[in-house]
Chain A
Amino acid sequence: MADEQRSSLRVDEVLPEGGSAIPGPLPVRRDEDLREHLPGVEPERRLSDWGRSERIEGLFDRTLYDFFYNYWFRCEVEGVENVPASGGALLVSNHSGALPPDAPMIAKSIREEHSHPRQLHITVEHFFKGYPGFSMLVPKVGCVAAHPANVQRLLYDEGELVLVFPEGRKGTEKLYKNRYKLRRFGRGGFVEAAMRAQAPIVPVCVVGAEEAAPIFAQVGALKRLTGLLYFPITPTFPHFGMLGMLGYLPAKFKVRFLEPIHFDSEFLHEDKSLVQSVAHEVRARIQENLFEMVQTRKSVWFG
């Protein structure tokens, strides 16, 4: 199946359906710097050009995220100073959970703990755009589709923070018995994106998300029947319905931001072997730190 080959950052476009269309080329770097021509901010608007809504995001932040961050997961954050205070940076994290709680918690931890609270753009597989309801809500709370051109624009042109999960769906599909074992990091598309934009990569480790939303089994037949991305069996899903997806267990969350990796010269992304070795390096560092954090953790629930 073609989807198996996809990472959350698909740099190499899979062959288009229909066949006659030419596959989309990569967003090549323009010869001229167009950053000064970015549209200005219209203060009357409450939505960004990406569809992000201050109002709805604020509402989620004050209620749901605040509750989960402070009381349910009791997030503990280390090394938040590794997130640059200005300019673009690509945050790379491990991923888990059927409806992953890790992304909003990372975003919240930067807003809460950082000396310059910044907003984070979370890349999501574009499948959300096909689901009614989700399609409306997901961009409003700060998610963008994981397209190389989107990441490039956010990192290079707009100088924003972007969070990617290179494991993609393979990370959220993995079962409880495989917890904290990182999947393949796609094809290194995220490294290429960061190199092209000359933005630093900040590896992020999240511990606790695996226990908060454990998946015991995947039911392939029901997945096909319902047309969902996957059909997991969790402590609360499917017997509590769709809301059961939000039924997280109160595991203690620990978020650790690692030292950033900088790319200073241009055209590094054309060196495929360098891209691959950096991708391996990032993956190894996250894996190492994850094991270390799990090792020193005394309790799943109290940290």
Chain B
Amino acid sequence: MTASAAPARRSGPGPAGAPDAPPSRRILVTGLSTYWGGLLAQRLERDPSIECVIGVDSRDPTRELERTEFVRVGTQHALLRRVVIAAEIDTVIDTRLTVDSTTVPARAAHENNVMGTMNVLAACGGPGSTVRKFVFKSSAHYYGSAQDDPAFFTEEMTRPHAPGTPIERDIVEAEASVADFAEKNPRTLVTLLRFANVLGPDVRTSHTKLLALPAVPMILGFDPRYQFVHEDDVVNALAHVVEHQQPGIFNVAGDGVLALSEVAGMLGKSYAPVLSPWGTGVAAAVARRLGVHIPPEMLGQLRFGRGVDNRKLKATGFRYRYTSRESVLKLSEHLRLHPILRAVEEPYRYEREVEEFLRWSPNVRDARRREDRAGSGQAAELGRGPGEAQAAPAIEGYDDLNASEIVPMVAALEPPQLAALREHECRSRDRRTVLAAIDKALVRAENGAN
């Protein structure tokens, strides 16, 4: 998925005036087990110019990783400094912030968001620190949602009222400590990204859950403005600021602000104004009893909505792949396919011994092969070489498709095409789900022939 990053890389480094931090070689990703951490690590380890990727988290990784090294740390990340110093990390990417209170209990979220951020920053700063770049993933919840908001928040604005929900308080506090860190460590380049609500086929947030319901619950008499960002754009944006020198704060949100009724229309769902305009908190508590989790930080958004100005990031050369509208359409495509696909995809399970065997054992042939390839010139790793043309897959635009999009198409292919596709997949992205689907189709074809 380097397609969108490639042209940016060609256009050279960031604008003049940015501190000239050397390009990132040794990267540490916090929150490896969160959705973003995992995806970002997968993305970074495909880049041959990056020497090492180390991921830390308190839980097991949720994605299959090739060369990223996983180190388990406590929730507070208290010992992180030793990891940073030992590995001479030059870039720290902090994707660990919890921005959805339905995923973890409030106390754990606070521990992670406030204490964790403090310790991560402490690990990056101080005398003799090797860290030259710090990227922090924050949320547009920083701005809150209030009646007297501007229609588009720009990066230098702060929220008009003090935050009322625990998650929002945490985010404001975490950002304050990042700002403090940036001030005290002028030699470290600090980039802070504020993401709008994320949508996409794979990510699970309160919003995707809400939009997956048979009808979209809304507050009676309110039609809030919503801006979304596609999950691919989130990873691309993080990778963009790792590749380029872009200090400062950036909003990340797709183009276009939609009304929630418009979103419901695009998803082909009805619009259910089930929450009362007065006593909405009580109504949300009732909904929670019924199994619909509406976190408190979302209630403000369901009432007043929020839009952010995404132009500052665009001005740095970043291009969004999806607008808000396209993200919603992608989600709606996924929601139609989801009931069929649920059985095919098997979740990844991390087992330390297996991972260590796969990585370090001299008996693993596959890893050897990869190493050789990396040694004998990186053309193969970068892919799309002319030599690959004859093995081009039978599915159009194959390289841009998700695993979930490819799987249903595989069944329609002929055995020779399947074999070619399998080879291509092995060489390019090596996704387990896709390979399993191809194998299954091959077996079926064989049985049919017999």
Taking beta carbons and an 8 Å cutoff, which residues of A are in contact with B?
A: 13, 16-25, 27-28, 30, 32, 34, 37-40, 42, 44-47, 49-51, 53, 126-127, 129-136, 139-140, 144-145, 147-150, 153
Contacting A at CB under 8 A, from B251-283, are 255-259, 262, 277
B137-181 contact mask (Cβ, 8 Å, vs A): 1 or 0: 000000000011111101011111111000000000000000000
A133 touches B162 (CB 8 A): no
Taking beta carbons and an 8 Å cutoff, which residues of B are in contact with A?
A: 147-152, 154, 156-163, 219-223, 225, 255-259, 262, 277, 303-304, 307, 309-312, 314-315, 323, 325
* C-alpha spacing A127/B314, complex, angstroms: 33
A20 touches B311 (CB 8 A): no
Least CB distance from B39 to A in Å reads 25
Cross-interface CB contact of B160 among A21, A32, A132, cutoff 8 Å: A21
Given A47-B258, A126-B148, A132-B162 contact (CB < 8 Å): no
CB contacts (< 8 Å) of B222 on chain A: these are 132, 135-136
Apart from A37-B315, A39-B323, A45-B256, list 13 A-B contacts with CB within 8 A: A17-B161, A24-B159, A24-B160, A27-B156, A34-B312, A39-B310, A42-B325, A49-B256, A51-B257, A132-B222, A136-B222, A145-B150, A149-B152
Least CB distance from B172 to A in Å reads 8
CB contacts (< 8 Å) of B152 on chain A: these are 49, 149-150, 153
* C-alpha spacing A6/B213, complex, angstroms: 42
B277 touches A126 (CB 8 A): no
Least CB distance from B313 to A in Å reads 9
25 residue pairs A–B, Cβ–Cβ below 8 Å: A17-B162, A20-B162, A24-B160, A25-B158, A30-B154, A32-B315, A34-B311, A37-B314, A37-B315, A39-B323, A47-B259, A49-B152, A49-B225, A49-B257, A53-B259, A135-B221, A140-B223, A145-B149, A145-B150, A147-B149, A147-B150, A149-B150, A150-B151, A150-B152, A153-B309
Least CB distance from B378 to A in Å reads 34
CB contacts (< 8 Å) of B151 on chain A: these are 49-50, 144-145, 147, 149-150, 153
A149 touches B154 (CB 8 A): yes
A42 touches B277 (CB 8 A): no
Q: For residue A128, which residue of chain B has the nearest CB?
A: B147
Least CB distance from B325 to A in Å reads 6
A126 touches B325 (CB 8 A): no
Q: For residue A144, which residue of chain B has the nearest CB?
A: B151
Cross-interface CB contact of A18 among B149, B162, B219, B262, cutoff 8 Å: B162
Closest 4 CB pairs of A and B: A132-B221, A18-B162, A39-B255, A149-B150
* C-alpha spacing A153/B308, complex, angstroms: 12
CB contacts (< 8 Å) of A136 on chain B: these are 221-223
B162 touches A21 (CB 8 A): yes
B150 touches A16 (CB 8 A): no
B223 touches A135 (CB 8 A): yes
CB contacts (< 8 Å) of B312 on chain A: these are 30, 34
Least CB distance from A35 to B in Å reads 8
A16 touches B162 (CB 8 A): yes
CB contacts (< 8 Å) of A45 on chain B: these are 256, 258, 262, 325
CB contacts (< 8 Å) of A23 on chain B: these are 158, 160
Least CB distance from B71 to A in Å reads 37
CB contacts (< 8 Å) of B307 on chain A: these are 49
Least CB distance from B332 to A in Å reads 14
CB contacts (< 8 Å) of A150 on chain B: these are 150-152
* C-alpha spacing A47/B266, complex, angstroms: 13
Question: Chain B at the A interface: mostly helix, strand, loop or mixed?
Answer: loop
Least CB distance from B152 to A in Å reads 6
Our count of residue pairs bridging A and B at CB distance below 8 angstroms stands at 117
A37 touches B311 (CB 8 A): yes
* C-alpha spacing A45/B219, complex, angstroms: 23
B154 touches A27 (CB 8 A): yes
Given A34-B312, A149-B157, A132-B220 contact (CB < 8 Å): yes
* C-alpha spacing A300/B160, complex, angstroms: 45
Least CB distance from A51 to B in Å reads 5
CB contacts (< 8 Å) of A30 on chain B: these are 154, 312
Least CB distance from B307 to A in Å reads 7
Least CB distance from A5 to B in Å reads 14
Least CB distance from B227 to A in Å reads 9
A18 touches B221 (CB 8 A): no
Q: For residue B323, which residue of chain A has the nearest CB?
A: A42
CB contacts (< 8 Å) of A148 on chain B: these are 150
B225 touches A24 (CB 8 A): no
Cross-interface CB contact of B221 among A16, A40, A133, A140, cutoff 8 Å: A133
* C-alpha spacing A38/B311, complex, angstroms: 7
* C-alpha spacing A27/B159, complex, angstroms: 13
* C-alpha spacing A6/B55, complex, angstroms: 51
Cross-interface CB contact of B262 among A16, A47, A127, cutoff 8 Å: A47
Given A34-B312, A126-B148, A153-B151, A44-B162 contact (CB < 8 Å): no
* C-alpha spacing A140/B256, complex, angstroms: 16
B147 touches A24 (CB 8 A): no
Q: For residue A17, which residue of chain B has the nearest CB?
A: B161
Given A50-B151, A136-B221, A28-B156 contact (CB < 8 Å): yes
A24 touches B315 (CB 8 A): no
B219 touches A132 (CB 8 A): yes
CB contacts (< 8 Å) of B225 on chain A: these are 49, 51, 139
* C-alpha spacing A13/B262, complex, angstroms: 32
Cross-interface CB contact of A147 among B148, B219, B221, cutoff 8 Å: B148
CB contacts (< 8 Å) of A140 on chain B: these are 223
* C-alpha spacing A130/B221, complex, angstroms: 10
CB contacts (< 8 Å) of A39 on chain B: these are 255-256, 310, 323
Least CB distance from B219 to A in Å reads 7
Least CB distance from A227 to B in Å reads 10
CB contacts (< 8 Å) of A135 on chain B: these are 221-223, 303
CB contacts (< 8 Å) of B154 on chain A: these are 27, 30, 149
* C-alpha spacing A287/B145, complex, angstroms: 39
* C-alpha spacing A149/B150, complex, angstroms: 6
B160 touches A16 (CB 8 A): yes
Least CB distance from A125 to B in Å reads 9
* C-alpha spacing A22/B159, complex, angstroms: 8
A24 touches B255 (CB 8 A): no
Least CB distance from A29 to B in Å reads 11
Given A45-B262, A132-B219, A34-B148 contact (CB < 8 Å): no
* C-alpha spacing A47/B307, complex, angstroms: 14
A18 touches B161 (CB 8 A): yes
Least CB distance from B431 to A in Å reads 32
A22 touches B314 (CB 8 A): no
Q: For residue A149, which residue of chain B has the nearest CB?
A: B150
Least CB distance from A1 to B in Å reads 16
* C-alpha spacing A110/B258, complex, angstroms: 27
* C-alpha spacing A248/B30, complex, angstroms: 63
* C-alpha spacing A127/B146, complex, angstroms: 11
